[in-house]
Amino acid sequence: MRRVRYHEYGAPDVLTVEEADVPAPGPGEVLIRAEAVGANYVDTMFRAGTSPEPFTRPVPAGLTGDVVGTVEAVGPGADPALVGRRVAALVAEDAFAQYAVAEAAWLVPVPEGLDAAVATVLPLAGPVALGTLRAGRPAAGETVLIHAAGGGTGHLAVQLARALGAGTVIASVGSADRFGFVKELGADVAVDNSRPDWAEQVRAAAPGGVDVALDSLGGSVLRESLDLLAPFGRIVVYGAATGELGAVPVTALFPLREVIGFALLRLRAAAPERARADIAEITRRIEDGTLRPAVHARLPLTEAAQAHRILDSHGHLGRVVLLP
């Protein structure tokens, strides 16, 4: 089979397509023949060697991804009835491949007829968008600020915030040419976070402060977002795409502000039933049309480097998907 790996850190061109044996599923695992693989931004940092400690990956390494396909085989302890089923799964290693191994316990059934590229949001991007919002506890009518609102997770969070009853949804994106995209998804206001006055734009849109903010950027964006919170406001942190983890000053919390961390794998471990309920809700919302995942690009597996160039540029609107 073909798979994509990198043997040194660097630009997207370090990604190479190589031949490998089809992997065998281990205990509690399944083998999936892939139809589509959703690319994750975090891998651009792993690949470049810029991910902050302790999140670096030694080389050679494969890529994570959200794999949609058909179960071809099961390992010891996995249900043989899974063979032949169409599923989606978060794969932590060697996801960019024609065949991938995944945990049987966290397979997501893919509804009949659902586009494979769209279905890549089911294991990770959709549950993270919903999980971060739930962690922020938005009440009806409150103001929600979403950073990276045009990305694979952010564009889903915009739609979900509106569906959950937000009064005002403010979408923070990296350039003004994405304003139309996020407004079509339900954002009331769009701001360009590449401009030095982006926080002032948010203050103008929410003079009383932001009630809930979702941040996957970290660094100065996180620090400035704290100052935008209303009394009793909550910011949910689920990434650091800037590569800067930094520290939140305790004094920034004194004005009745709250910082909440979110990680999907931790939620799975701590509250598996809640995590499964979130996956089921995302699936229902896609089926009934209240959640519309966008696919920015569909590329063959051989163009994995181009997929990472798109992610590196921060210019994608929705998901970047590889088709093995």
Domain formed by 2-121+293-323, architecture: Alpha-Beta Complex (3.90)
Question: What average pLDDT does the chain have?
Answer: 95
Q: Is the pLDDT of residue 239 over 90?
A: no
Write out the residue limits of the CATH 3.40.50.720 domain(s) in the chain. 125-266
Pair 139, 211: CB distance under 8 Å: yes
- Read off the pLDDT of residues 251-272 as tens digits, 9 standing for 90 and up: 888 999 999 999 999 999 999 9
Q: What is the DSSP string of 96-138?
A: SBSEEEEEGGG-EEPPTT--HHHHTTTTTHHHHHHHHHHHH-P
Reduce the DSSP state of residue 211 to 3 states and report it: strand
pTM: 0.95
Question: pLDDT band at 308, cuts 50/70/90?
Answer: very high
Question: HSE (CB half, 13 Å, CA atoms) of 168?
Answer: 16
| pLDDT average, residue stretch 137-150 | 97
pLDDT for the residue 252: 87
Question: HSE (CB half, 13 Å, CA atoms) of 317?
Answer: 14
Q: How many CB atoms lie within 10 A of CB 173?
A: 27
Write out the residue limits of the CATH 3.90.180.10 domain(s) in the chain. 2-121+293-323
Q: 125-266: which CATH number, 3.40.50.720, 1.10.1370.30, 3.30.950.10, 3.90.1150.10? A: 3.40.50.720
- Read off the pLDDT of residues 41-81 as tens digits, 9 standing for 90 and up: 999 999 999 887 777 899 999 999 999 999 999 999 999 99
Helix (H) or strand (E) holding 88: strand 86-91
